[in-house]
Amino acid sequence: MGLLHLHFLFLFLSFSSGEISSFVGVNYGELGNNLPSPKQSVGLVQSLGAKCVKIYGANPDILDAFKDTNIQVSIMVPNELIINISNSQKLADSWVESNVVPFFSKTKIRYLLVGNEVVSSSPKQIWPRIIPAMRKIKSSLKTHSLNKIKVSTSMAMDVLESSFPPSNGTFRSDIADPVVKPLLQFLTRTKSFYFLDVYPYFPWAADPKSISLDYALFESRNVTYTDPVSSLTYTNLFDQMVDSVVFAMKRLGYPDIRIFIAETGWPNAGDIDQIGANVYNAATYNRNVVKKLTAKPAIGTPARPGWVIPSLVFALYNENQKPGPGTERHFGLLYPNGSYVYGIDLSGKTPDSGFEPLPKPGNNEPYKGKIWCMAVGGANATALSSALSYACSQGNKTCDPIQPGKPCFKPDSLFWHASYAFSSYWSQFKKSGATCYFNGLATQTAKDPSFGHCKFPSVTL
């Protein structure tokens, strides 16, 4: 009887550990016009040692490319379909029948996210529709006996009203009851994960004087933080951020929902005014987070010691068509030509000594000086002309100096006129969120483009 009991206990433990395994995968974004094909990408994902890949949609070419690879795949219902699917079981059925059923027998689709950071990036009217859409998608999967697929949605850290100290983690009052509680109820009932995007880079970059860079990179030897309420001691910012969500869920009455890190990473480059975005820091962060997440036995976090945290690093490639600041286009583990930005092994098996030495970081201190926003050489003339018109239409006499007879007027020079307009616009509106990007037509420079009596406006840091 005792032996039989032990046998069943062993089977139970084996099943439990198999249900949630320790792995690190990679996010496969497609916002680039120079990326390898899906078939080429499969080989690159395998070379990274990734056990899982997440895509931002359900591209059939990608799903087909990953068949028979044993790599788990996470797919996504686009944000813009959430309202319609939440209102129609028929539409949910159709989406599953088109995007899941044809691939499931050969491709290991294991996660289906309904939207990406919806609360952070979509209109408010979509927020309460996330859970009804998830329920309908789950019902469709059940109809097709696709019970291995976990349904969830991804959330960024900005869903928290308070995250410091971690024990004070609290969801925002505008979403706690209408969005988060129904989500946690759904995740509990379906035994799914809370998918969380965690980027220590951003809180560190916003306040590098108060937060130690080593603490953000898992490199701190003497820097720790002890939560005054929980008495838990933290040695890195990642754990602090994750545990603030753990405590926030506990505060709503859900202390045991498993967390899946949907995105984490560090930019390998960025704009001149973006501190700490470099290859050294990116490699250091990602290698260290992989070590932590693949450790056996599992490390977990101070609030959840020993818990396994399946995770996905962002991103597979540097994607040149992502909008926003320069860092957005430089989170890749690989360049678009397939070469490594730096040595990395997502399986966690390669020691740091197995990688080539890293270049020394050159921008770990804030840049001090002037920056101008210039048009990119060789930019499409029609697009440049349109961007020039946009910048000049924003008022504040943005483009007066490039009018005929004025000091910055250069006949037939679209490049110089656009560059002046971009610099003028950016210098005026940067504080209200403007970036030097203009759909990829602009770039920052520390070299003063002024000439003669023409003085280009600049941003001073």
Same domain, 407 and 434: yes
How high is the pLDDT of residue 20? 63
Mean pLDDT in residue range 299-303: 97
Same domain, 233 and 377: no
Is residue 7's pLDDT more than 80? no
Same domain, 264 and 407: no
pLDDT > 90 fraction of the chain, expressed in percent and rounded? 90
Same domain, 326 and 223: yes
Is residue 43's pLDDT more than 60? yes
Q: Looking at residue 178, what DSSP letter applies?
A: I
Both tokens assigned to 191: 């035994």
3-state secondary structure of 124: helix
Same domain, 85 and 183: yes
Same domain, 71 and 174: yes
Does 321 map to a domain? Answer: yes
pTM over 0.85: yes
Region label for 348, one of left (φ > 0), alpha (ψ between -120 and 50) or beta (otherwise): left
Does 380 map to a domain? Answer: yes
Query: End-to-end CA distance of the chain, in Å?
Result: 74
Same domain, 431 and 345: no
Cα 417 to Cα 432: distance, rounded to the nearest angstrom: 23
Other beta carbons within 10 Å of 287? 23
Does 2 map to a domain? Answer: no
| Residue given tokens 């050294």 in the structure block | 280
Confidence of residue 6 (pLDDT cuts 50, 70, 90): very low
Same domain, 233 and 190: yes
Cα 283 to Cα 267: distance, rounded to the nearest angstrom: 9
Mean pLDDT in residue range 49-63: 98
Burial of 145 (0-12, 13-18, 19+ CB in 10 A): exposed
Q: What angle do CA 138, 199, 270 make, to 5 degrees?
A: 125
Does 226 map to a domain? Answer: yes
Does 361 map to a domain? Answer: no
Total structural domains in the chain?
Answer: 2
Cα 56 to Cα 263: distance, rounded to the nearest angstrom: 12
Does 265 map to a domain? Answer: yes
Range of the domain at 427: 370-460
Is residue 2's pLDDT more than 50? no
Is residue 445's pLDDT more than 50? yes
Cα 233 to Cα 244: distance, rounded to the nearest angstrom: 13
Cα 249 to Cα 246: distance, rounded to the nearest angstrom: 5
CATH code (residue 333): 3.20.20.80
Mean pLDDT in residue range 319-336: 95
Does 7 map to a domain? Answer: no
Same domain, 349 and 386: no
Same domain, 297 and 424: no
Cα 348 to Cα 49: distance, rounded to the nearest angstrom: 8
Paired residues of 37 in beta bridges: none
Residues forming the active site: 117, 263
Is residue 70's pLDDT more than 70? yes
Same domain, 212 and 74: yes
Same domain, 169 and 233: yes
